[in-house]
Amino acid sequence: MMQECWILKCSGIMKFLAASASASLLALRALGATVSTRAPNVKAITLDIVNAQGAPDGFQRSLVTANGTYPGPTIVADMGDTLVVTVNNRLDDPTMRRSTSIDFDGIFFSTDNAFEEGTPFVTACPIAPNASFTYTIPLGTQSGTFWYHSQLSVQYVDGLRGAIVIRNPNDPNIDLYDVDDESTLIQVGDWWHNTSTSLLAGYVATGIVPVSDSGTFNGVGRFQGGPEVPFAVVNVEAGKRYRFRIINVSARNVFTMSVDSHNLTIIETDGVATVPLTVNQVEMLAGQRYSVVLEANQPVDNYWFNAPFVGGDPTRNLNQNATLSRGILRYVGAPDAEPTAPMSLGSGTALVEANLRPVEAKPAPEPDMNITLNLVVTTGKAQWNVNNVSYLSPEVPTLVKILDGANSSADFNVTENTFILPANATIQVTFPPNDDDEAHPFHLHGNNFFVVKSNSSDEVNTENPIRRDVSGVGAAGTILRFRTDRPGPWFFHCHIFWHMQAGLATVMASGLDDIRAEDHPNAAWEALCPAYDALPTELQ
In a domain, 81, yes or no: no
Cβ neighbors of 264 (< 8 A, separation 6 or more) are 244, 257, 258, 278, 279, 280, 281, 282, 292, 293, 294
pTM above 0.85, yes or no: yes
Determine the Cα–Cα distance for residues 540 and 537; give it in Å rounded to an integer: 5
pLDDT at position 40 is 53
pLDDT at position 342 is 81
Distance of CA 73 to the CA centre of its chain: 14
Closest CA to 283 of 186, 214, 352: 352
185: region left, alpha or beta (phi > 0 left; psi from -120 to 50 alpha): beta
Determine the Cα–Cα distance for residues 535 and 540; give it in Å rounded to an integer: 6
In a domain, 354, yes or no: no
Written as one string, the DSSP assignment of 56-91 is: TTS--EEEEEETTBSS-PPEEEETT-EEEEEEEE--
In a domain, 301, yes or no: no
Domain that holds residue 488: 369-533
In a domain, 480, yes or no: yes
- Pairing mode, if any, of strands 418-421 and 505-510? parallel
Dihedral of alpha carbons 314, 159, 217, 185, sign:
negative
pLDDT at position 517 is 95
At 503, phi and psi to the nearest 5?
110, 0
In a domain, 309, yes or no: no
pLDDT at position 18 is 33
**CB neighbour burial string for 16-48, b if at least 16 within 10 angstroms, e if fewer:** bbbbeeeeeeeebebbbbebeeeeeeebbbbbb
Task: Give strand pairing partners of 415.
Answer: none
pLDDT at position 249 is 98
In a domain, 59, yes or no: no
The DSSP element (H or E) to which 35 belongs, if any, is strand 34-37
Q: In the chain, how many domains are there?
A: 1
pLDDT at position 343 is 81
Q: Are 132 and 42 in contact (CB under 8 A)?
A: no
274: amino acid identity, one letter:
T
In a domain, 423, yes or no: yes
Alpha helices in 118-272, H assignment, sequence order: 196-206
- How does the average pLDDT of the chain come out, rounded? 92
434: amino acid identity, one letter:
N
Q: Are 477 and 375 in contact (CB under 8 A)?
A: no
Cβ neighbors of 39 (< 8 A, separation 6 or more) are none
Q: Are 434 and 475 in contact (CB under 8 A)?
A: yes
From the number of C-beta atoms within 10 Å of its C-beta (0-12, 13-18, 19+), residue 246 rates as buried
Closest CA to 76 of 148, 155, 173, 8: 8
CATH code of the domain in which 510 resides: 2.60.40.420
Residue numbers of the chain with a pLDDT score lower than 70:
1-40, 346
26: amino acid identity, one letter:
L
- Pairing mode, if any, of strands 488-494 and 440-444? antiparallel
In a domain, 505, yes or no: yes
Task: Give strand pairing partners of 388.
Answer: none
Q: What angle do CA 27, 31, 37 make, to 5 degrees?
A: 165
